[in-house]
Structures are given as structure tokens and as C-alpha cells.
């Protein structure tokens, strides 16, 4: 993206779309260019024809082409909820550098630590993406490929280029990315594989808290649980998700009657209390591996993220007590 000209009297800007931004929807492009502007305002600009491409009106689904000329009207950009002020703390920078599992000129994969958000907001100054934008200043198109809950650890992908982001999103849509999780569930799970196909629906509670429930009118969701080890009152499972819905593993395991241990939202209070005595102070959910064929090289990438010491120690104590 490059700026062609600015009309100083009217404040109208004209931007030229480059190859990295080609293929992106105009509404998503505007959300990035006009940071801090509410979505409702951006859609109103499109609806009224104030944003134009090649001098013509377009709708939100329009996908930009290389060399398109985009007219951006003057819009007041409010300060973001969490301003990017100052440098990434040294401790967080070191933690994320040590968490790197794979990096090339298009992709970063890291073992995201539990407790680190993937992006800033709600009082969080720096998430993973804000930190890496400072740590990799020459990667101009750095974006999250997917997300992990703040408490969930493990494999997280970041794209360094818009073209890589689009290609990886296509892989995710086609089910060409194999993502597997490790989870410690309450109770004794049956041996073997247990598929769960239960539609999930998100809802917002009055206090703003987001909850997900099994509901017929929700989005189709599938998780396959495979029992790896059984301990007194707990089971270590591998979860293979065919869909990537919000809180999917946590809700599907609770639906089975075996919630993820350490889960304060969907879990069992008594079971969580017992595991806290064994040192479990967080959600026991870890994205432990991913496999995909890199679309730009056809090379197969297989990445594995080791469990953190605190989770391994919990398993050792369970095995000792068993």
C-alpha cells in the first residue's frame, strides 16, 4: 500500500493497493488503515459511497486488486483502547524470543506462554502481536493467523506478509492444517477415540463476559478426543479439532462430562480445587503440535511445542499418587 496523494483542503487521501494487499476485502483493509474507527462507522462510509475504488462505489465484500486506487475520506481516528506506548518490556521480549519454534521470511510459530494474550485490549498493553511488531519491525504485514485463549499455551502462527496470511487462512478453511492439543480432563475417560459433534453458539453476558454453549442453532463443530493416560480422577487426552470455534475443546469436553481441569469458566470447582493442591494453577490446555504443507514452498512443516515445566510436574504428581 502506498499513498498517491492527499488533498490538503478536503483531507481526502488516495491509496494505491500493492500485491501484498491484493485479494483482501475492502472492509478489512479499512479496519487496518483506519485504526480506532468503529466498525459501524466504516460500514457507513461504504454504504454512503464515501470510500471509492477506482472512482466507483463498492460494497464490503469487494476484494482489492493490485494497483486499485482507494479514496479514503477524512475520518477522525479515535485513540485505540490500549495505546501502543513505550517499548515491549524486556521480560516479555525475552520470553517470546525463547518461545520461538520456527521462523522464516513469511511465518513465525511460537510456543505461546500461558497468561500472555495474543493481542492487547481490556487493560493489556502488549499481546503477542503488538510485541512482535516491535521485535520484527521490518515485517510490515505481521498479523495473527489464528488465536489461542490467554490461558492456553502452545503453537501459535503469525504471518509476516499479507500474501502469507491469505494463503494460511485458505489452508485453515480447507482443513489443511492439522492442530492437536493436550488437555487434562476431570474424571476417567474411556479408552480409545471419542468424537464429539455438537454445534456451538456464542453469547454475551450482561457484564460483557463471553460464554459458549452447545446449541442446535449454533455453528457445526467437531472434536475428537483420544485418551493417552488415566490417573486417579483425571485423564490426559489428545484433542484433534476439525473446526476452530471459540472455546471449542473446553465446551465439548464439559459436554462429555469431563471438563478441562483448571477451567474456571466451564470446569468443576471441586475437581479444580483438588488439582490446585497438586500445583495446577492454570488451565491445562496446550496446543502441542501443528502440521501443514507450506503453500509457498510445498514443504511439509511439522512443529511440536513441549509442555511447560508446571504442567509436566502436575502429571508427575498424578502418576506418583496413582
C-alpha to C-alpha distances, 107 to 19, 131, 165, 179, nearest whole angstrom: 18, 16, 9, 16
Map residue 6 onto helix, strand or coil. Answer: strand
Q: CA-to-CA distance for 153 and 157, rounded, in angstroms?
A: 12
d(CA 241, CA 291): 13
> Whose grid coordinates read 454512503?
48
- The CA distance from 300 to 294, in Å, is 6
Q: For residue 175, how many other CB atoms are within 10 A of its CB?
A: 9
Which residues are known catalytic residues? Answer: 149
Give which of 287, 296, 313 is closest to 101, Cα–Cα: 287
Which DSSP string do the residues of 31-46 spell out, in sequence order?
HHHTTTS-HHHHHHHH
Please report where in the chains the cell 501459535 appears, as a residue. 156
Closest CA relative to residue 219, chosen from 242, 239, 238, 202: 202
The C-alpha cell at 138 is: 521490518
Cα–Cα dist 288/143, whole Å: 21
Amino acid at each position: 500500500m502506498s499513498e498517491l496523494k492527499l488533498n490538503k483542503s478536503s483531507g481526502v487521501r488516495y491509496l494505491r493497493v500493492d500485491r501484498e494487499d491484493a485479494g483482501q476485502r475492502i472492509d478489512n483493509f479499512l479496519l487496518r488503515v483506519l485504526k480506532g474507527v468503529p466498525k459501524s462507522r466504516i460500514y457507513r462510509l461504504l454504504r454512503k459511497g464515501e470510500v471509492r475504488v477506482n472512482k466507483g462505489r463498492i460494497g464490503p465484500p469487494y476484494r482489492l486488486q493490485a494497483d486499485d486506487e482507494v479514496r479514503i475520506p477524512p475520518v477522525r481516528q479515535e485513540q485505540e483502547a490500549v495505546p501502543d506506548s513505550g517499548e515491549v518490556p524486556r521480560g516479555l521480549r525475552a520470553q517470546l524470543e525463547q518461545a520461538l519454534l520456527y521462523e522464516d521470511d513469511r511465518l513465525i510459530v511460537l510456543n505461546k506462554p500461558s497468561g500472555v494474550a495474543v493481542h492487547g485490549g481490556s487493560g493489556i498493553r502488549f499481546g503477542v502481536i503488538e510485541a512482535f511488531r516491535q521485535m520484527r519491525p521490518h515485517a510490515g504485514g505481521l498479523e495473527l493467523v489464528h488465536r489461542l485463549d490467554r490461558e492456553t499455551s502452545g503453537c501459535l502462527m503469525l504471518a509476516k506478509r499479507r500474501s502469507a496470511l491469505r494463503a494460511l487462512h485458505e489452508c485453515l478453511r480447507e482443513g489443511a492444517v492439522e492442530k492437536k492439543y493436550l488437555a487434562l480432563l476431570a474424571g476417567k475417560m474411556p479408552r480409545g477415540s471419542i468424537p464429539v459433534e455438537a454445534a456451538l453458539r456464542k453469547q454475551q453476558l450482561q457484564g460483557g463476559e463471553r460464554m459458549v454453549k452447545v446449541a442446535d442453532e449454533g455453528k457445526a463443530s467437531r472434536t475428537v478426543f483420544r485418551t493417552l493416560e488415566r490417573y486417579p480422577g483425571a485423564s490426559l487426552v489428545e484433542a484433534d479439532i476439525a473446526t476452530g470455534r471459540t472455546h471449542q475443546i473446553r465446551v465439548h469436553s464439559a459436554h462429555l462430562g469431563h471438563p478441562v481441569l483448571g477451567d474456571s469458566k466451564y470446569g468443576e470447582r471441586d475437581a479444580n480445587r483438588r488439582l490446585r493442591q497438586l500445583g495446577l494453577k492454570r488451565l491445562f490446555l496446550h496446543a502441542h503440535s501443528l502440521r501443514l504443507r507450506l503453500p509457498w514452498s510445498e514443504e511439509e512443516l511439522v512443529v511440536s511445542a513441549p509442555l511447560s515445566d508446571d504442567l509436566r510436574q502436575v502429571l508427575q504428581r498424578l502418576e506418583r499418587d496413582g
